[in-house]
Structure 1
Amino acid sequence: MGGFKKFLLRGNIVELAVAVIVGATFSGLVQALVADLITPLIGAVSGGRQPNFAEYSFTVNGSEFKYGDFLNHLVTFLVIAAVVYWLVVAPMTRLIGLFDRDRAATTKECPECLSEIPAEARRCAQCTSELVPESEKPR
């Protein structure tokens, strides 16, 4: 029983559980945003009609191919992907870029082993090669 308790309380399992819960909640949030705000906005722009392709189909040798449902799912996927990109991915990329820009000013890459070291380091901690600090470099 002790091993099972350790397994359940390991950091990775707890972090994974939190990620799944947050992901499911975020999924509901994005779906509500698209269904309640974005789709009606598309309907307003397209003259009050919301796109619905459910009835689109064709028949070949007596077999009916209902491609309209696929088109509905494809449009929904594209709208959700665009919302996630423009409201989550792009702002987070910009935010991470701001943090990396500030970090880049305080660190540099060792020319010998390519590890990240403080900008004012005189010797690399990984390969022990001698370095010239940024403040002592000629301009």
Structure 2
Amino acid sequence: MLKGFKEFISQGNVIELAVAVIIGNAFKPIVDSVTKFILNIIGALVGSPNFDSVAQFKIGEKSDYIQPGTILTAVINFLIVAAAVYFFVVVPMNKLAATRKKEEEAAPAKPTEAELLTEIRDLLATRRG
């Protein structure tokens, strides 16, 4: 049992996951800032994007309101965060990767091993002859 745990911990996937969590945590303030920026723009244009009171209801007189609209608010906030990450991080990174790929393709191709050996053979043959 301990051997299996040791193998699990020593796999690269666990370390990669730990690094991803740490980087994600460090990246959180950037996403929060972009999201806040977008929410402020939406708030200035159409008002506060809060749907908590949509379809709220009470069960009995003494209970608090039940607000299913909080789920809608959470979904919309998630979509805003996802859009912010996509448009401000993913799209620029994809463009950068495409530019790098074009540069690599434009670079002259390195000779293959067979081509190098053929060139060496030809050079040796000219020296002998």
2:104 corresponds to: 103
TM-score, length basis structure 1 = 0.58
Please list every run of 5 or more consecutive structure 1 residues that lacks an aligned counterpart in the other structure: 108-117, 125-139
TM-aligned CA distance change 1:7 to 1:68, over 3 Å: closer
Residue 51 of structure 2: SS of its match in structure 1? Answer: coil
| Paired letter, 1:121 | T
The 5-angstrom pairing of residues 38-117 of structure 1 reads: 38-46=38-46, 49-57=47-55, 66-106=67-107
Q: 1:102 to 1:81 in 2, by over 3 A?
A: same
Name which structure has the greater RCO, CA cutoff 8 Å, separation 6+.
2
Distance of 1:84 and 1:8 partners within structure 2: 30
Which ranges in structure 2 are unaligned for 5 or more consecutive residues?
116-129
Deviation at 1:25, TM superposition (A): 2.1
In 2, Cα distance between equivalents of 1:123 and 1:71: 63
CA distance in 2, matches of 1:7, 1:40: 45
* More helix by percentage: 2
Q: Take 1:68 and 1:19, find their aligned partners in 2: how far apart are those partners?
A: 32
Q: CA deviation at 1:78?
A: 1.4
- The Cα shift of 1:77 comes to 1.2
- Structure number, greater radius of gyration: 2
Indicate the RMSD between aligned Cα atoms, in angstroms.
3.5
The count of aligned residue pairs is 107
Tell whether the 8 Å contact from 1:105 to 1:119 is kept in structure 2 after alignment: no
The answer to whether the 8 A contact 2:31-2:85 is kept is yes
C-alpha deviations, 1:84-118, integer Å up to 9, x for none? 111100100000001111112247xxxxxxxxxx4
Name whichever structure is richer in strand by fraction: 1
Distance 1:78 1:6 in 2: 38
Aligned residues: percent identity? Answer: 35
Question: Does the 8 Å contact 2:54/2:67 carry over to 1?
Answer: yes
Report the TM-score when normalising by structure 2: 0.62
